[in-house]
């Protein structure tokens, strides 16, 4: 982000000199970290087999498995259960 943009933001927010310096420091720190982080993709994440077995055993309740980023790794719905049980009956 350019210095002019940061100055405009500081002016719009009516920041004093200390706050403006802090804003610049935050942006510099964030820009440095952004370059160091690997690109975030939607790589397939493995759900442990034991969790899948547990979810398969839960026949009367829907279930969702999420990671710390709220990525849904596995979901089982009651409608799927009903369709599966009627197909095997």
Other C-beta atoms within 10 Å of 36: how many? Answer: 6
- Assign 89 a pLDDT band (cuts: 50, 70, 90): low
- Match 């310096």 to its residue by tokens: 21
- Assign 17 a pLDDT band (cuts: 50, 70, 90): very high
Residue 65 bridge partners (DSSP): 74
23 contact partners, CB below 8 Å, separation of at least 6: 6, 9, 10, 15
| pLDDT tens readout for residues 26-77 | 888 877 655 554 455 555 567 788 888 887 777 777 777 877 776 777 777 6
Rg (CA), the chain: 24
């Amino acid at each position: 982000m350019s210095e002019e943009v940061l100055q405009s933001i500081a002016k719009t927010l009516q920041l004093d000199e200390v706050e403006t310096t802090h804003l610049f420091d935050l942006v510099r720190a964030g820009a440095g970290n952004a370059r160091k982080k690997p690109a975030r993709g939607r790589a397939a994440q493995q759900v442990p087999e034991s969790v899948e077995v547990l979810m398969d055993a839960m026949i009367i309740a829907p279930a969702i498995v999420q990671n710390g980023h709220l990525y849904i790794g596995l979901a089982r719905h009651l409608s799927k259960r009903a369709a599966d049980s009627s197909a095997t009956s």
